[in-house]
Amino acid sequence: MSKIKVLHIIKSLGRGGAEMLLQETLKEHNHQQFEFHFIYFLPWKNQMVAGIEAENGKVTLLPASNNLLIMMKVPQIIQYIKQHHIDLIHAHLPWAGFASRLIFKMTKVPVIYSEHNIQDRYHILTKTINRFTFNWQTKVIAVSSDVAKSIEQRIHPSVPVEVILNGVNTNQFIRNEIERKAKRTELGVGDDDILIGNIAVFRFQKRLKEWITTIKKIQAVHPNVKAVLIGDGMLKAEIMQHAKSEGMENNIIFPGLQTAIKPWLSAVDIFMMTSSFEGLPIALLEAMSMETAVVCTDAGGIKEVIRDKVDGFTVPVDAWDSIIEPIHHLVEHPNEIKTYGQKARARVEASFSMKAMVQQIESCYLTVLKNSKSN
């Protein structure tokens, strides 16, 4: 029996949440039944390529430096589909989704689109094209109930929308005490210090200026608190200037983009997010799996993961500055940091495992292919 050939199309293979999922789900997929191909467009965002290829993913770069050029790659993608006898396209994020929908119109190859954000957060052009083309596909996967609700309210789709919550590989993301000690020694973080961290693309939705301001307030009261902000992005210069203006450029560690993040998460005690909106952030699930206590705004799918004061702490998005209160509590009661870290891991093990997510995705693939053949 020949394998089912699935083509993932995504704008980049950098260190983002959706991109990281492609690498991690590949480790759990049934490679006896499926063969996975990947097309991406931004040459400088390729951090996931090596990991995908290590899991037998077949990666192709079609260089395109902007969204218009991505759409112009449609004929080459169609050629690739025919050459490699692709059975199913799985698209991620808007512009890869737009290209895939056009391909569906031209070839009728089934297209599944994963939606990671609520519709109101997109640029007006993206929202307009989304509404116009949304039904030019076979099925939609929403990464949280909030995302699915926004699709139903803003687009009223005729194609089916299924919620498949993001997952994390709990067998891979395990706290390592040797790596923890080595990384903290490297960073100059002592045994009695408390390290607060975050992993983020430097975009406005992450509210990293507010994150820096919160760290400043915490350190003013608790000098044993250290901080690390891992990531990069288009707002890096602006974020770094804000840190400088707050006198925080030397009080927060800025290591830039990191592909090997497990040693960093092993070193972190508290994972803090101040986001204004989210789908269901992969970095959060990874941190929870690594037994890191979590304190976040209740943006998007976060409230589907963290049960306040049960698995971690959440505060309302519009009251982000109140996040300092549970942080103060944990710093003043350090024994609870370990307790909430253990509760966080138990939560993802029970409800957000990568294995369960992949089983749902594969079931979705088989259903779509079966229905496409019968139509």
86-129 tens-digit pLDDT: 999 999 999 999 999 999 999 999 999 999 888 877 889 888 99
pLDDT reported for residue 101: 97
Helix count and strand count (H, E) for the chain: 16, 13
Average pLDDT, the chain: 94
Whether 375 shows a pLDDT value over 70: the answer reads: no
* Mean pLDDT for the stretch of residues 306-317: 95
Q: What is the pLDDT of residues 19-42, one digit of tens each?
A: 888 998 999 999 999 999 999 999
The CATH classification number of 4-167+353-374 equals 3.40.50.2000
Whether 296 shows a pLDDT value over 70: the answer reads: yes
* Mean pLDDT for the stretch of residues 310-317: 96
Q: Give me the amino acid identity at 4.
A: I
* Mean pLDDT for the stretch of residues 189-194: 94
Q: What is the pLDDT of residues 228-254, one digit of tens each?
A: 999 998 899 999 999 999 999 999 999
Query: What pTM did the predictor assign?
Result: 0.80
Which strands make up the sheet holding 34-40, listed edge to edge? 58-61, 34-40, 4-10, 88-92, 111-115, 139-142, 161-163
End-to-end CA gap in the chain: 22
Whether 374 shows a pLDDT value over 90: the answer reads: no
Whether 280 shows a pLDDT value over 90: the answer reads: no
* Mean pLDDT for the stretch of residues 186-194: 95
Q: Give me the amino acid identity at 193.
A: D
- Residue 277 binned pLDDT confidence (cut-offs 50, 70, 90): confident
- Residue 372 binned pLDDT confidence (cut-offs 50, 70, 90): confident
Q: Is 3.40.50.2000 the CATH classification of the domain at 177-351?
A: yes
pLDDT reported for residue 283: 92
Phi-psi region of 191 (alpha: psi -120 to 50; beta: other; left: phi over 0): alpha
Q: Where are the domains of the chain?
A: 4-167+353-374, 177-351
* Mean pLDDT for the stretch of residues 349-371: 93
* Mean pLDDT for the stretch of residues 295-304: 92
* DSSP string of 244-298, one letter each residue: HHTT-TTTSEEEE--S--HHHHHH-SEEEE--S--S--HHHHHHHHTT-EEEEE-
Q: Give me the amino acid identity at 189.
A: V
DSSP lists the bridge partners of residue 294 as 271
